[in-house]
């Protein structure tokens, strides 16, 4: 099947490489649309969408972009224009996949462009700064595939050709194997977790939801998954959620390294949600313990693996999280229920576990109940988060809310 692949690059500096990728993709039988995002030099060939058109999409002109006199400002404008062009191509059915290549400038532009497109469209970035600190996780579209160039993109050497051949094959393969989306009759439900080692409720909640006729997407709240969950909600891809892992919220409040703010999107979209304080007992520290701030040195710690050390949260921090969750949930426009498993919030929070702290747990409960509005139902359950009974209760409550919100569910 012939698909349309959009190729993005600055033709004044990466023209030969873009042309090479274009020829490779077309040899595989696919159509291409080349977008030129260059600003200063001449393009070695005529693109399908010129830099002038990109600037116009950003409601300016190429002349005005050049007159800005700063590379950073110019690339930001061209990124805005390229994103709008790509969105229009997608809306018109002329974008089945997209590939961009560049150095730090082209990578910066591509990040903005890729994030503007819906999730699950094949996206590939070929970058000289791949996997470096120049690419923070929060600016990356969560479905983006990144490929390092190995060498600089500076002419078609044997090494560069090999990399570009792999890139062309990768994006072509991605669009070739992606089946056209079928309209499912099953409402999609998002479930957040932090892995079955600490939070086992998914083992029971997922099959229970599926038995009730839902399609279940599980999001791992490790800084990437929670962000992706929020994006899925924002793009209207979920009908409701069991949002039972607050790992990223605690990292956000305590300075951990998976610091993504949470509990925002689903409330704004007025979707049904069941929320629980899962994994509030610790925050995650990535890297060696030598880099851990001195103020946490006396805290209890647990090495999850060589990449992640868990650091116990304090009673004061638990109370702060109760207040934060209440403030966020008070803004929810849809049906919301908070379940509090009073016997423990994770596998680390049970008798004999490293972070078991009933007084801190009670501080959280007092703070949450003291700040939450009456419209939000709070249910305390005399059970642990990881008990099958807790999963059954959470699923039953969410199912009732979703069916009331969406009566057509079979």
- For 234-251, how does the pLDDT look when each residue is reduced to its tens digit (9 = 90+)? 888 899 999 999 988 888
The residue written with tokens 């224009």 in the block is: 81
pLDDT digits (tens, 9 = 90+) for 174-203: 999 886 655 567 899 999 998 766 688 999
In CATH, which superfamily holds the domain spanning 188-405? Uncharacterised protein family UPF0261, NC domain (3.40.50.12030)
Select the highest-mean-pLDDT range: 51-60, 99-108, 292-301: 51-60
- pLDDT for the residue numbered 259: 56
Domain positions in the chain: 4-177, 188-405
The burial class, CB within 10 Å (0-12 / 13-18 / 19+), for 328 is middle
**What phi-psi label fits residue 213: left (phi over 0), alpha (psi between -120 and 50 degrees) or beta?**
left
Question: What is the helix (H) or strand (E) element at residue 18, kind and residue range?
Answer: helix 11-27
- pLDDT for the residue numbered 410: 46
* Domains 4-177 and 188-405 in one fold: yes
| Average pLDDT across the chain, whole number | 89
Which tokens hold the place of 69? 């006199």
- pLDDT for the residue numbered 301: 86
pLDDT digits (tens, 9 = 90+) for 3-37: 999 999 999 989 999 999 999 999 999 999 999 99
Mean pLDDT along residues 293-311: 83
pLDDT at 408 over 60: no
Contact 147, 129 (CB under 8 A): no
CA distances from 243 to 203, 247, 264, 338 (A): 15, 11, 11, 10
pLDDT digits (tens, 9 = 90+) for 322-346: 999 999 999 999 999 999 999 999 9
The residue written with tokens 């969950």 in the block is: 229
Q: What phi and psi values does residue 407 have, to the nearest 5 degrees?
A: -60, -20
In CATH, which superfamily holds the domain spanning 4-177? Uncharacterised protein family UPF0261, NN domain (3.40.50.12020)
Which tokens hold the place of 249? 């919220």
pLDDT digits (tens, 9 = 90+) for 115-158: 899 888 999 999 988 777 767 666 677 788 899 888 777 778 88
For residues 408 and 27, give the distance between their C-alpha atoms in angstroms, rounded to a whole number: 47
pLDDT digits (tens, 9 = 90+) for 360-384: 999 999 999 999 999 999 999 999 9
Question: What is the helix (H) or strand (E) element at residue 216, kind and residue range?
Answer: strand 215-220
């Amino acid at each position: 099947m012939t698909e349309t692949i959009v190729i993005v690059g600055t033709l004044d500096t990466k023209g030969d490489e873009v042309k090479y990728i274009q020829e490779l993709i077309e040899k595989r039988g696919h159509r291409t649309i080349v977008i030129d995002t260059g600003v200063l030099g001449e393009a070695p060939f005529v693109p399908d969408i010129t830099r002038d058109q990109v600037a116009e999409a950003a409601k300016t002109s190429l002349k005005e972009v050049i007159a800005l006199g700063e590379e950073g400002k110019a690339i930001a404008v061209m990124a805005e224009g390229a994103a709008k062009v790509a969105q229009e191509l997608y809306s018109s059915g002329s974008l089945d996949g997209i590939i961009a290549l560049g150095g730090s400038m082209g990578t910066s532009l591509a990040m903005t462009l890729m994030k503007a497109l819906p999730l699950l469209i094949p996206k590939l970035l070929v970058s000289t700064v791949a996997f470096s600190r120049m690419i923070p996780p929060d600016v990356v579209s969560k479905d983006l595939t990144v490929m390092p160039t190995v060498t600089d993109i500076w002419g078609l050497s044997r090494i560069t050709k090999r990399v570009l051949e792999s890139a062309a094959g990768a994006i072509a393969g991605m669009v070739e194997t992606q089946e056209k989306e079928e309209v499912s009759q099953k409402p999609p439900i998002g479930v957040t977790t932090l892995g079955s080692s600490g939070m086992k409720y998914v083992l029971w909640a997922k099959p229970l939801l599926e038995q009730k006729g839902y399609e279940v997407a599980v999001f791992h709240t490790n800084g990437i998954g929670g962000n992706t969950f929020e994006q899925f909600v924002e793009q209207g891809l979920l009908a409701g959620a069991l949002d039972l892992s607050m790992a990223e919220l605690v990292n956000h409040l305590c300075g951990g390294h998976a610091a993504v703010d949470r509990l925002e999107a689903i409330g704004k979209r007025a979707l049904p949600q069941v929320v629980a304080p899962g994994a509030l007992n610790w925050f995650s520290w990535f890297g060696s313990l030598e880099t851990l701030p001195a103020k946490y040195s006396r805290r209890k710690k647990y090495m999850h693996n060589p990449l992640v050390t868990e650091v116990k949260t304090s009673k004061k921090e638990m109370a702060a999280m109760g207040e934060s969750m209440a403030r966020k949930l008070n803004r929810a426009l849809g049906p919301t229920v908070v379940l509090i498993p009073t016997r423990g919030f994770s596998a680390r929070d049970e008798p004999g576990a490293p972070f078991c702290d009933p007084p801190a747990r009670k501080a959280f409960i007092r703070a949450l109940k003291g700040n939450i509005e009456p419209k939000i139902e709070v249910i305390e359950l005399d059970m642990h988060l990881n008990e099958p009974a807790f999963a059954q209760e959470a699923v039953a409550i969410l199912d009732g809310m979703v069916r009331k919100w969406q009566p057509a569910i079979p």
